[in-house]
Chain A
């Protein structure tokens, strides 16, 4: 029965996998399987689907969402969440856009936008740390506040030319730059994904996020400063949201209050599809990215199938339900 301390029993196939992979449940990779199935079916049915152009399309459609989902995944792991994402992204874009309109140097505009969103994140964090109320309510409140602020700042008139930002992310950079001809949006996406991955795996703050999400009381009694950790995490989220907002604003070449509506729910859905639990303690960066990829593929496939966008909504809803069921079954 009880033998030594580190008996490494082989898995069902009799093959011994390195420890890091043994804890990943193959079942949690179902989004990839579904994606492959959809790609195969649609490729057979539609011409022009299986082209580099189309897949770059999908990539550029989900890049901003992917960035936000990374931040949201970290928060969900710590048993928090941020509903102010959409209007905060808009806020970042507006701060940057207004400064651009006034002819300020680009680096200052970007700093203002990212800084503004980070500040919002910080405020979220402070209130969540102090207050027993659920972050759902608190960030919802921030969201509404930002909505008013966004419309007030632009007076309903969006900023129309994001100049340098548009040059960077508008897809106008010469092909083959900077890597493999992929749209330039890919760079911030890759950076944020790698950062999120490293953060969760190798930083003390990331470890504390798992601890707080898994059992906040136990974390507190282990000497973790729960309040401070939450503040850091939400501030970090603000930073990520700011980056995503500027990427999106550069891509669309606009800064307005309705730049990123519903991003908050979409990012939570993508994280959940990727196996990040809503109650905290479980999840990962790369896994959450699966959710984003599946999202993009499904939306695109529905377009090619000629179905109206109402079907997109329905399909996405169905995927979320399945994802939640799978997550529960894994418990």
Chain B
């Protein structure tokens, strides 16, 4: 904390009555909050509550319509990202903004590259500096590696390193664990502890309330642009926060049906994997019955994503057998998978799952245009009817069915993807990270929807790294480690810790 002339200690960051509107949306209504050096302050709220707008004001992307922001007692003045950066405010976004064709060192030191005699770039020194920085925070990445070759978690770590290089005073983290598995999340938490000790202020934006309660000293809750609460986390409990976020009590999330699930629910086998082996996977056996929701979890790279790709015809280089509905299943393209009745919802909805400028109805009906065709031509009326059916069923909120899908919130976009699965009349669904980046309430809704879909006789395979979330709504959990099935649990009979252990692997089942 900095001391001003009168000797009282001022907070690191003060936001005073920040007000910001966009055409049609009053995003922030006179929001005020403070953050001290060495404090971890959580920012929570539903999608659309104003979190990202507040972050953008603090980081200089937007200028508030009224109100002011002070850093160490001085008003920020100009609202540009560069200015904020110069002042010591660093942001790590949910999707790391890096330059993929440059190396790790070049990204971390962007704009700060050491130069020999002020002219030629000194790569050696740059690599040294980066390596030192990465080591200090126990981040295991090669400074010379091109960023394009790194996976999402590594990229995020590079983004964090980049923020730290500048000796940021205030570090803003936006959904940092969204793309991280349990092991890397733990490392991040340790990093945050280090930063706190060094006096860096951390603004932590997240949907994961358990993390919030574990890390944060204080919390600010926003709802519809209004500040609902800003206080210490001591004495606060999760349910209270959820209520504050929603403005009403939340129904019990999850709601699995009680039709006695154990390994095998007596229904026919919908999907069977036998001895499936690739470069990554080793002898994987898996069965999903009709009406069952089975989750595959593990650290990133453990093989869940690879299984999804195999099931959807994106990877044919495996040995072993896959049966769908009892018959051999060897698709070459997603199109063939869909014809057989299997649909996959990809991990990154905006990047891979939706056509951004196409309407909600257009996206949903894309999977089978024949259903809305009459005499070979599309019937817009039929399209609307079909889409409306799914929109109602899944409770998708959009201004209208003709809205381009890019205007929807993350949760609604996920629902549109589920609607596609229904439109494809899939009997087997493969869902990759279905609740990633989605707020608490939408998560609950998705849990409910998945259970309903399973209840109608479908088999659902969920691939996710969010163990806590999985345990709320699936029947069985299969833990993968290093491409092998490390263990299988009935969801209601196991704990987060138990599953986590197997995926990370201190103790654990030997490969069978």
Contacts and interface: CB of A to CB of B under 8 A. Distances in A.
B395 A5 contact: yes
Contacts of B369: 204, 207-208
Given A7-B400, A221-B334, A222-B334, A281 B358 contact: yes
A22 interface: yes
Residue among A2, A211, A221 with the highest chain B CB neighbour number at 10 A: A221
Residue among B312, B337, B356, B369 with the highest chain A CB neighbour number at 10 A: B369
Contacts of A287: none
Interface in B362-387: 362, 366-370, 373, 376-378, 380
Contacts of B366: 207, 211, 219, 222, 224
Interface in A1-25: 1-9, 19-20, 22-23
Contact of A223 (B335, B399, B402): B335
A23 B380 CA distance: 15
B48 interface: yes
A22 B354 CA distance: 22
Contacts of A208: 369
Contacts of A8: 399-400
Nearest to A208: B369
Residue among B401, B402, B424 with the highest chain A CB neighbour number at 10 A: B402
Interface string A282-320: 100000000000000000000000000000000000000
B347 to A, nearest CB: 11
A210 B358 CA distance: 8
B486 to A, nearest CB: 29
A222 B397 CA distance: 22
Nearest to B393: A5
Residue among B335, B354, B356, B366 with the highest chain A CB neighbour number at 10 A: B366
Interface string A225-266: 100000000000000000000000000000000000000000
B391 interface: yes
A328 to B, nearest CB: 14
A152 interface: no
A214 B358 contact: yes
B454 interface: no
A217 interface: yes
B318 interface: no
A191 interface: no
Contacts of B224: 1
B420 interface: yes
B490 interface: no
A218 B352 contact: yes
A162 to B, nearest CB: 35
A221 B357 contact: no
A180 interface: no
Given A203-B378, A207-B378, A222-B420, A5 B357 contact: no
B272 interface: no
A198 B312 CA distance: 33
A110 to B, nearest CB: 26
B351 interface: yes
Contacts of B396: 5
Contact of B355 (A20, A218, A225): A218
A5 B395 CA distance: 7
Contact of A218 (B335, B354, B424): B354
B348 to A, nearest CB: 9
Interface string B391-435: 110011111111010000000000000001000100000000000
Interface in B293-316: 312
Contacts of B424: 223
14 contacts: A1-B48, A6-B391, A19-B402, A22-B402, A23-B359, A204-B376, A214-B355, A215-B355, A218-B353, A219-B355, A221-B353, A222-B420, A223-B335, A225-B335
User: When A and B form their complex, which 5 residue pairs have the shortest distance between CB atoms, in order from nearest?
Assistant: A214-B355, A223-B338, A204-B369, A2-B397, A223-B335
Given A207-B378, A218-B354, 16 more contacts: A5-B388, A6-B388, A7-B399, A8-B400, A19-B401, A19-B402, A23-B402, A211-B355, A211-B362, A214-B356, A214-B357, A218-B352, A222-B334, A223-B335, A281-B355, A281-B358
